[in-house]
Structures are given as structure tokens and as C-alpha cells.
């Protein structure tokens, strides 16, 4: 009987430890400090993230203003740093829906930016997008239904983590999402073997036909 009691106590203790570990893993909060729009129509959020007592203040692109429809060709560059109230902030993220339905023909994302959130470029009417070597994460549906997007230049030597349907388009005939048939994902020649290693990077398996 005593052994059974000890066993129950041990199970309870282990359960509590698992709960505490889970809580510690989620011990991260993000607070919005400021929002502003630059002269070129890029909206930013200044955020402060606290993880286990460590604070990080950075900027995120929240939206962009579309160019005038009369412009035949247009492009936009997202810088790696911005100035707000005389303080400099690193731009680390492209926010969800930031470039949704954007009409820029060419979009350049500068070095230093690390994450692209879900649906960030959904239905963007862009032809070419440049992504830096610092990209580590591309969220689900990030480039979904970008029907005119033909080239993504991706400089990351380590394949970024991908969310579901990141580079896919909805096919009306099959009623399914499939990799964009016109998209070429251009990576450096010395890195392509990493992108082809689907055992190590399984989320890239769907886009083997898009890699160049």
C-alpha cells in the first residue's frame, strides 16, 4: 500500500514539474510602445518583448501604402533600421498582412530582418521579391496567392523554417492549394543542397520544383 502511495506522489510531482516547465517556456510577453508612418508610406510598430526578464525593443513593419495606380513600375525597400524620436531601432519582422495585395512590382527586404509573419504578402501583385540572408522564419500562407510573383531571391544559407502553404496558390480546378507554378525561388548555388535536404528541412519538400 505504501508503495502505491509513493507512486502516486511521484506522479503528481512529475506532473507539476511538467506544468512549471511549460509555463517557463511560455514566459514571454510583448508590449506595443509606439506606432508611426514614414514619409514613404511604411507603417511601423515599436515593440518590447520580455522573455524571462530579458527585454528586447525592435521595430516591425505593420503595413505599407500602395503606390499610385498610374505608376507602371514601382518598387519599395524595407530598411534594416529606422529612426523614431531620435532613437534607432532594428527592423526584425514583416508583420501579418503587411504587404497584403501590395502593388509594388519589386520588393526588397534588407539584411537584418529575421521573420515574415503569416499572410504577410498574401495576394501581393509583385513580380520580384528579395529576401535577406538573415531570414529564419516564414509563416504560414506568407506568400499565398501571389499569382504574378515569378522570382524570390532568397539569400539565407540555412533554409528558413516554413509555415504551411507558405508559397502556395489556390487552384480552382482542383480546389486545392499547390506550389505556385510560375514561382522560382533563387538560392545561392553553394546552398541549394541544404534546401534539397528534405530529411533535415521537411517543410521544403513541397517546393523542390520551385528551387533554382
Enumerate the β-bridge partners of residue 35: 45
Q: Indicate the number of domains in the chain.
A: 1
| 167-212 residue pLDDT tens | 999 988 888 999 999 999 999 999 999 999 999 999 999 999 999 9
- Strand-pair category, 176-179 with 28-37: unpaired
Phi and psi, residue 4, nearest 5° = -65, -40
| pLDDT band, residue 74 (cuts 50/70/90) | confident
Secondary structure of residue 45 in the 3-state scheme: strand
pLDDT exceeds 50 at position 8: no
pLDDT digits (tens, 9 = 90+) for 20-68: 334 444 577 989 999 999 988 999 999 999 988 889 999 999 999 887 6
Establish if 5 belongs to a structural domain: no
Q: Is 3 domain-assigned?
A: no
Contacts of 60 (CB under 8 A, 6+ apart): 44, 45, 47, 91, 92, 93, 94, 95
Asked whether residue 8 is domain-assigned, the answer is no
Q: Which domain holds residue 195?
A: 28-67+74-207
The grid coordinates of residue 147 equal 499569382
What confidence tens digit (pLDDT) does each residue in 80-137 have? 999 999 999 999 999 999 999 999 999 999 999 999 999 999 999 999 999 999 999 9
Q: Can you give the pLDDT at residue 51?
A: 87
Read off the CATH number of the domain in which 107 is found: 3.80.10.10
Q: Is residue 4 part of a domain?
A: no
Is residue 199 a part of any domain in this protein?
A: yes
Query: Per the domain annotation, does 18 fall within a domain?
Result: no
Q: Is residue 150 part of a domain?
A: yes
Residue-level pLDDT at 53: 80
Q: Bigger pLDDT: 84 or 5?
A: 84
All residues at 6 or more sequence positions from 117 whose CB lies less than 8 Å from its CB, including other chains: 93, 94, 95, 96, 98, 139, 142
**Which residue reads 513541397 in cell numbers?**
206
Rounded to the nearest 5 degrees, what angle is found at the Cα of 97, between the Cα atoms of 91 and 100?
115
Q: Is 131 exposed, middle or buried (0-12, 13-18, 19+ CB in 10 A)?
A: buried
What local confidence, expressed as pLDDT, does residue 38 receive?
93
Q: Is 14 within a domain?
A: no
Q: Is there a contact between 102 and 92 (Cβ–Cβ < 8 Å)?
A: no
- The answer to whether residue 15 scores a pLDDT higher than 50 is no
96 neighbors 120 (Cβ within 8 angstroms) = yes
Amino acid at each position: 500500500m505504501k508503495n502505491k502511495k509513493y507512486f502516486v506522489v511521484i506522479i503528481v510531482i512529475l506532473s507539476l514539474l511538467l506544468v512549471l516547465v511549460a509555463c517557463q517556456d511560455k514566459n514571454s510577453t510583448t508590449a506595443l510602445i509606439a506606432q508611426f508612418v514614414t514619409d514613404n508610406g511604411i507603417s511601423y510598430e515599436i515593440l518590447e518583448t520580455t522573455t524571462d526578464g530579458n527585454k528586447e525593443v525592435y521595430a516591425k513593419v505593420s503595413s505599407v501604402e500602395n503606390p499610385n495606380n498610374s505608376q507602371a513600375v514601382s518598387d519599395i525597400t524595407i530598411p534594416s533600421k529606422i529612426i523614431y524620436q531620435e532613437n534607432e531601432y532594428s527592423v526584425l519582422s514583416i508583420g501579418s498582412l503587411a504587404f497584403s495585395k501590395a502593388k509594388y512590382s519589386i520588393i526588397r527586404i534588407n539584411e537584418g530582418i529575421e521573420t515574415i509573419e503569416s499572410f504577410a504578402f498574401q495576394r501581393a501583385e509583385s513580380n520580384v521579391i528579395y529576401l535577406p540572408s538573415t531570414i529564419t522564419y516564414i509563416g504560414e500562407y506568407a506568400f499565398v496567392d501571389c499569382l504574378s510573383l515569378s522570382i524570390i531571391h532568397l539569400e539565407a544559407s540555412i533554409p528558413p523554417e516554413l509555415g504551411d502553404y507558405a508559397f502556395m496558390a489556390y487552384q480552382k480546378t482542383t480546389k486545392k492549394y499547390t506550389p505556385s507554378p510560375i514561382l522560382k525561388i533563387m538560392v545561392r548555388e553553394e546552398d541549394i543542397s541544404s534546401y534539397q535536404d528534405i530529411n533535415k528541412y521537411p517543410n521544403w519538400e513541397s517546393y523542390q520544383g520551385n528551387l533554382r
